[in-house]
Structure 1
C-alpha cells in the first residue's frame, strides 16, 4: 500500500525524537520493528501512521456507514469508492480474511501486527533474543510503561533510567564494551551487569524490593519485620522477612527475594528453578506455624506461579483494606519499576 511522502517520514520522526530525548543510538531495523508493536506484544506502542491508517479508516468508515446513509440524500445511491479501494489494497497485502463491514479496528490491526511479529521473530532468531522477546511480553516486564510518572508515588524515571530500560527491552547497545572486575568481557548490550556478583545494582534492587514488600504488608495492616533472627536455630541463615501475625491457615509468612537475570548464561534455560533452590534452603520454615514463600522475579519481568499467587494474595488483602481496586495495578507498576 503506497505511503504519502508526509506519512513516510513518520518512522524517521520516531527514531529522531527517541535519539534526541534518550540519547539512543539509531534504532536500527530490529529495534524499530519491535518499538512500533503494542506494549502487550513486547513493543513500545509507537505505532506508525502509515501502517495503521488503513485499518483506522476502514473501521471508522464501517462504523459511520449508517449515519452517512441517513445524512446523504436518498434520491441517489452513493457508493464509497475510496472505502472499497482501500479494502481491496488491504486484502492484496493481508488476504481476504475480514469482511468489509467489520467495524473493529482491533480486528483490522491484527493481520498487520501478526505479520510484524513474525518478521521480528525471524530477525531475532538467536536463543538470547528469543528469551528477551518472550520476557518483555510478560506482565511485570511491560506494565512499567503504562505507569503514570509521579515523583510522589515513586513512578517517575529520569531520562537516563528510561534510556537504559528501553535499550534493554529493545536489545540496543547500552554501554561501551569493557572488562569487568570479575574477569568477564562486558558487551555493549549491558546484560552482564544484571547478574555480576560485583555489580552494585543487584543489591540495590534487592533492598528496594524488600522495603517495598514491607510497605505492602503495612498497607494491608499486617505487621512484618525484615531479616528476623533465630528462625532457624541450627543454621546461620535468615529469610528476608517475616510476618508477626498469621498470613494463611494460622501460619505466619516468611519470604526470601531473588532476582535471577533472564538472559544470564547459567539461567537462560532454567531461571524458574531458582524458587526450588530457595525452598530447599529454607525447608525448615515450612511447618505447622510458618509458611515460606520464595519471591522470585526475573530481571526482565517473568515470575513463577508461587510468586504470582503471593502478589495476588497481598493485593487482595490491600484492596480489602483500602477499597480501591486499582491498588493491584499500582503494585504491579511499582514492582515492575524496581526491576
Structure 2
C-alpha cells in the first residue's frame, strides 16, 4: 500500500505541476536531492538496498521492467516539453501580434537538450503528449541496462520483466477483500526478484544445493515449496474465469487422460468452440534456470512457449476429441503464445458478460499474483527450518 501511495500520490505525482510549468530540468542538483528522497523512502518500505543500477531499473515505467516510481530528473524534461507545446497556441493568442511569432522561454533549449539525450531520434508526432517525449528516454535506459548486463541470467531477467504481462501484479489494487494484497515480506521478495536485488544470506537449501545471495535456486529447486500452490492457484483462476463467462469447468477430470495415464488440469463441461470442450494444462517454468538461459537470454517468453509445445506433444491424443490448451507461464512473468491468445479471448468474453471494461485486466492481475506468490513460497522454502523451539513446547 505504501508503494501505491508513492507511485500515485507523493513525490513526482505531487510535483508534476511544477515540472510542467517551469524549466526544472535545468536544476539537476535540486532534482537529484528529490530523487535521493524517493530512493531512501522506497528502500525503507521495500527493506531492500537499491544500488545505482537497480535504482535505474526501478525508476522506469512498469512496461519497461521498472516499478513505475519515476525519478524527478527523468520526468522533468518530457513534462516541460509536452506542457510548452500544448500551450503554444494559447501563448500566441495572449502575446502581442506586433512581436511576431515567438516561443515560450526555454522551449528551444529544452528541445536541444532532448535531442542530445536521444541522438538520431525524431521528436514525436504529437508534441503535446508527455508519454511520447518520455518513451525514447526510457527505452534508451532499458537498452543501456541490457547492453551492460554482466551475465546471461541478468539479461534474461531484464528481458522477461519488460514484457507487459510481467507487470500485471504491480497494477493490482491492494485489497484484502479481493485477495490482491501481498504481505510485506512477499512484496519485498517479489520486487527483489524483479530488480535482481539481494534476497538472502548465502545458505544451504534442504535439497543440498548452495543458495547464493540472489536466491534464484528456489525457483527451480526439485523440492520447490511453491510449485504445487502456484499450479493450483493458476488452475483455480482459470476455472473461476470460465465460470464467470457461464462455462462451468472441472479440475483434474476423470476419464480424460493422455497416453501415459496422466490427467490434464481442467476440462470445460460444455463445448468451448466448434462443438468441442476445452481441455487445459498449466505449467510454470523457471526463466532463470541454468538449462533455460540459452533461450530466455535471447527473447522474453520463449521458454514458456517451448514448454507449451512440449505439452502439445504429450497431449496429442486428446486433440482429436477436445480443444487442448497448454497454458505456459514463467517465474519472471512472461506467458507463452497460447496462454496470451487464450487470455485475450477469455478477456473479451469476460467484458461481454460483466460489462466491465477492466474485467480482462483483473484476470491478468490474478494470474500474475499467483505466479508471484509461488515465487515467494519457493524462495522461502530454501531457508533452513529450526525445530528447537517446537521441541521446547513438547517438553
The two structures share one fold, judged by TM-score above 0.5: yes
RMSD across aligned positions (CA): 2.4
Unmatched runs of 5 consecutive residues or more in structure 1: none
| Counterpart check, 1:147 vs 2:180 | no
Distance 1:250 1:50, change over 3 A: same
1:335 alignment counterpart? 367
Q: Deviations over 1:67-126 (max 9, x none)?
A: 123223445566544333333444444448556993332333234223312321233242
The CA distance in 2 between the partners of 1:95 and 1:5, in whole Å, is: 24
CA drift at 1:160: 1.5
Kept in 2: contact 1:140–1:335 (CA 8 A): no
Distance 1:214 1:120, change over 3 A: same
1:318 alignment counterpart? 350
Residue 309 of structure 2, aligned match among 271, 276, 288: 276
Residue 329 of structure 2, aligned match among 297, 307, 316: 297
Kept in 1: contact 2:258–2:314 (CA 8 A): no
Unmatched runs of 5 consecutive residues or more in structure 2: 1-24, 296-302, 372-395
Distance 1:103 1:176, change over 3 A: same
CA drift at 1:331: 0.7
Mapping for residues 256-271 of structure 1, pairs under 5 Å? 256-270=281-295, 271=303
More deviation, 230-239/196-205: 230-239
Q: Deviations over 1:183-217 (max 9, x none)?
A: 22211112111121212111111111111111112
Q: Secondary structure at the match of 1:9?
A: helix
More deviation, 82-91/328-337: 82-91
Kept in 2: contact 1:195–1:202 (CA 8 A): no
| Counterpart check, 1:10 vs 2:34 | yes
The CA distance in 1 between the partners of 2:277 and 2:115, in whole Å, is: 60
The CA distance in 1 between the partners of 2:368 and 2:128, in whole Å, is: 35
The CA distance in 2 between the partners of 1:319 and 1:104, in whole Å, is: 29
The CA distance in 2 between the partners of 1:97 and 1:254, in whole Å, is: 48
| Counterpart check, 1:177 vs 2:219 | no
| Counterpart check, 1:242 vs 2:274 | no
More deviation, 176-185/109-118: 109-118
Q: TM-score, normalised by structure 1?
A: 0.90
Distance 1:86 1:284, change over 3 A: closer
Mapping for residues 58-73 of structure 1, pairs under 5 Å? 58-73=81-96
Aligned residues: 337
Residue 256 of structure 2, aligned match among 227, 231, 240: 231
| Counterpart check, 1:130 vs 2:155 | yes
Kept in 2: contact 1:36–1:47 (CA 8 A): yes
The CA distance in 1 between the partners of 2:244 and 2:327, in whole Å, is: 19
Q: Secondary structure at the match of 1:259?
A: strand
The CA distance in 2 between the partners of 1:233 and 1:309, in whole Å, is: 23
Kept in 2: contact 1:30–1:123 (CA 8 A): no
More deviation, 237-246/117-126: 117-126
CA drift at 1:16: 0.8
Q: Secondary structure at the match of 1:225?
A: strand
Q: TM-score, normalised by structure 2?
A: 0.78
